[in-house]
Amino acid sequence: MLASGTGTVLGAIIERGPPVALVVTDRPCPALDVAAAAGIPAVEISRRDFGYRAGTDWDRRGFTLAVDAALGAARIDLVAMAGFFTILHPVIFERYRGRILNTHPALLPAFKGAHAVQDTLAAGVPVTGPTIHVATEVLDDERQILAQSPCVPVLPGDDEAALWERIKAEERRLYPQVLWDVVNGKIDLEV
């Protein structure tokens, strides 16, 4: 699992999804505590150690290769991103083509990018929900959507935090189920 944030989706997967062998984060974050509390090995590979500063060039490839090495050492064959806030260098998709999944808090192909929930609110659409998809080097790629849940109403008076929390509640239900379906062969990944 790759995570950067509060790790509530990660926690749901640990609780209800298939076994998680390793958690990798790109920064100090509560997701590390979620892994520790569950007794799952976790490693922080800080993108700052690869020169990351917002808005500047940095060694994205070196960072991605370090993530790749950690996954390889743990013999990971399926990677799930749950709120991982770094765009990985394409090099990782050479090894894990079709085997890196992601959850996005909008109905792809609508509202790609880091401000999906904010953009959903600004657009004034009545309903939203998460998308579980196969990640590629194309950001928020919609070509292989595994599950989508258009079941979260946008309510009058919603702000980004309130709407996002309701979307995350659905992600915490849907993502563990999708991962089980992949592991059990009910969903066939094109690799």
Report, in Å, the least distance between residue 9 CB and ligand GRF: 3
DSSP string across 104-129 = ESS-TTSS-STTHHHHHHHHT-SEE-
Report, in Å, the least distance between residue 3 CB and ligand GRF: 6
In the complex with ligand GRF, the residue whose CB is nearer, 3 or 66, is: 3
CA 160 to chain centre: 19
Report, in Å, the least distance between residue 152 CB and ligand GRF: 11
Residues 28, 44: contact at Cβ < 8 Å? Answer: yes
DSSP state of 19: P
Report, in Å, the least distance between residue 29 CB and ligand GRF: 8
104 a catalytic residue: yes
3-state helix, strand, coil in the chain (%, to 5): 40, 15, 50
Q: How long a stretch of residues is the chain?
A: 191
Per DSSP bridges, beta strands 23-25 and 2-3 are parallel
In the complex with ligand GRF, the residue whose CB is nearer, 52 or 85, is: 85
Active-site residue (options: 89, 104, 115, 133): 104
180 class by beta-carbon count within 10 Å (0-12 exposed, 13-18 middle, 19+ buried) = middle
In the complex with ligand GRF, the residue whose CB is nearer, 26 or 171, is: 171
Residues 42, 23: contact at Cβ < 8 Å? Answer: yes
In the complex with ligand GRF, the residue whose CB is nearer, 69 or 139, is: 139
The site for ligand GRF (CB under 6 A) is made up of: 5-10, 82-83, 103-105, 167-168, 171
Which residues are catalytically annotated? 104
